């Protein structure tokens, strides 16, 4: 018997949910985002593997996506369908083990005791597919970091094990950004002093890393290069810190009255969600994005904390009034930061 961490990750989740309803689209490039109209503003929320070969991924603007992949099928977002599928997915995993850490609506870590980790991973895949119709990849690791990376190496619909026995063989020659938690900017900074691979990072001087990235981040980067994960499994649901809503306008909006109406509408939605979940807002933040993509926020505290719609709406309007008037607005959002 051994204890391992499994990272279970649904493959092309949003697209996969859509393909359950539209099986005739399997094998075709499918992109999900916005209203499904690529001539309108919005970004790709989900891309099929066939679409990704054209350089289209989550976050790609829809207008860019249609230019790169004009033969793609574009579908509108259906949040309720994805939330329902996610809930069923998590229910399956919780029936397998109570030691579960939700990492997103399409991924989770499981801590399991098993005599055959690969067989257990295949069992998880079968249970998920039987109940949800969705395929998942499973990474097996001796900690969360290695399990997370392993699931990426298992895609699509595979099982891969990454632990201390094969870490160097699998990861040493890969670029630093292959590590979970290292992005392009950090990798570029690492390259300035000769770190181009995971092996380079693992062999880097600890003092140099601490001097370049700080006394906390430097050692963390070095630990990642060795596949270390000092963070324990978080088996409780993460604490909700905020509730927010936002809207992107198809044409930039300059009319102050129309913008205030949108702020009020969003604030009422947020307050309704807070009341439904029994959460109290202590601060309301309004986000405004202007062309091309400059984003700014203003916040107003609420004393006492409340979910009262009138109070949240009033705070949102006060925050909005702090912005310079008259300039065209691309996006506006309202977020309530909650007590906790």
Return the active site residues.
107
The edge-to-edge listing of strands for the beta sheet with 30-32 is: 46-47, 30-32, 73-75
Mapping DSSP onto H, E and C, the string for 145-194 reads: HHHHHHHHHHCCCCEEEECCCCHHHHHCCCCHHHCCCCCHHHHHHHHCCC
3-state helix, strand, coil in the chain (%, to 5): 40, 25, 35
CA-atom Rg of the chain in angstroms? 23
Tell me if 36 sits within 8 A of 22, measured CB to CB: no
Two tokens at 209? 């890393």
Q: Which residues contact 323 (CB under 8 A, 6 or more apart)?
A: 286, 288, 296, 298
């Amino acid at each position: 018997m051994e204890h391992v961490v499994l990272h279970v990750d649904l493959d092309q989740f949003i697209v996969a949910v859509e393909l359950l309803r539209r099986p005739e689209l399997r094998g075709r490039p499918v992109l999900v985002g916005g209203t499904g109209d690529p001539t309108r503003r919005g970004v790709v929320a989900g891309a099929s593997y066939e679409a990704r070969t054209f350089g289209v991924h989550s976050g790609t603007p829809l207008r860019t996506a249609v230019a790169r992949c004009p033969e793609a099928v574009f579908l509108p977002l259906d949040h309720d369908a994805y939330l329902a599928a996610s809930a069923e997915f998590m229910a399956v995993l919780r029936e397998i083990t109570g030691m579960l850490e939700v990492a997103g609506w399409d991924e989770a870590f499981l801590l399991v005791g098993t005599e055959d980790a690969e067989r257990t991973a295949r069992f998880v895949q079968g249970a998920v597919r039987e109940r949800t119709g969705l395929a998942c990849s499973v990474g097996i690791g001796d900690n969360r970091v290695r399990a997370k990376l392993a699931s990426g190496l298992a895609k699509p619909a595979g099982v891969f094990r990454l632990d201390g026995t094969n870490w160097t063989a699998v990861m040493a020659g890969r670029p630093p950004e292959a590590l979970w938690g290292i992005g392009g900017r950090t990798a570029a900074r690492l390259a300035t002093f000769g770190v181009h691979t995971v092996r380079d990072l693992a062999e880097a001087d600890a003092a140099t890393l601490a001097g370049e990235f700080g006394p906390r981040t430097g050692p963390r980067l070095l630990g990642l290069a060795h596949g270390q994960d000092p963070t324990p499994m978080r088996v409780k649901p993460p604490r909700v810190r905020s509730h927010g809503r936002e809207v992107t306008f198809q044409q930039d909006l300059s009319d102050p009255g129309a913008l205030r109406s949108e702020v009020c509408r969003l604030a009422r939605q947020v307050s309704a969600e807070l009341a439904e979940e029994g959460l109290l807002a202590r601060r309301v933040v309004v986000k405004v994005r202007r062309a091309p993509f400059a984003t700014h926020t203003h916040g107003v505290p609420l004393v006492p904390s409340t979910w009262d719609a009138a109070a949240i709406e009033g705070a949102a309007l006060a925050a909005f009034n702090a912005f310079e008037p008259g300039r065209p607005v691309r996006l506006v959002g309202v977020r309530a930061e909650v007590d906790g």
